[in-house]
Amino acid sequence: MSISREDIEKVAVLARIKVDDEQVSALEKDLGNILDLVDQLGAADTDSVEPMAHPLDAVQKLRADEVTETNQREAFQAIAPATEDGLYLVPKVIE
């Protein structure tokens, strides 16, 4: 199955990855090949098969709603690209 340039550009926006025209051309070929590879899945008869999310069919465990972590804001923000007064800085989002 092929994938169109428009599809790639749309998916790139969803994935928040900037792609230029040249990259879109390369991706058209590579993603097309990968989708060809996975298209054989369609031929499998899976009518009565339950999808498998965990190999041991384990269910999500829940812990008690208790505070177990201590505040480590300084340690965590020490590795951030930009912070100020204990806040993470990002480009302005509200005019």
Partner 1 sequence: MHNKSVAELSRELESGNVSSVELAQQFLDRVKREDEKYNSFITVSEEQALAEAKAADEMRAAGKATPWTGVPFAHKDIFCTNGVRTTCGSKMLENFVPPYDATVTANFRAAGAVCLGKTNMDEFAMGSSSESSYYGATTNPWGLGAGDKRVPGGSSGGSAAAVAARLVPAATGTDTGGSIRQPAALCGITGLKPTYGRVSRYGMIAFASSLDQGGPMARTAEDAALMMNVMAGHDPKDSTCIDRAVPDYTATLNEPLKGLKIGLPKEYFSDQLSPAMEEQVRNAIREYEKLGATVKEVSLPNAKLAIAAYYVIAPAEASANLSRFDGVRYGYRCEDPKDLMDMYTRTRAEGFGSEVKRRILVGTYALSHGYYDAYYLQAQKVRRLIQQDFLNAFKDVDVLMSPVTPSPAFAQGEKTTDPVAMYLEDVFTIAINLAGIPAMSVPAGFVDGLPVGLQIIGDHFSEARLLNAAHQFQQVTDWHQREPK
Binding site for partner 1 (CB under 8 A): 3, 7-8, 11-19, 27, 30-31, 33-35, 37-42, 44, 46, 49-56, 58, 60-61, 63, 72, 75-76, 78-82, 88, 90-93
* CB 66, min distance to partner 1, A: 12
- For the chain, list the strands marked E by DSSP: 83-84, 87-88
Both tokens of 84, joined, read 């100020």
Residue type, 13: V
Helix (H, G, I), strand (E, B) or coil at 33: helix
Given the complex with partner 1, which of 37 and 67 has the nearer CB atom?
37
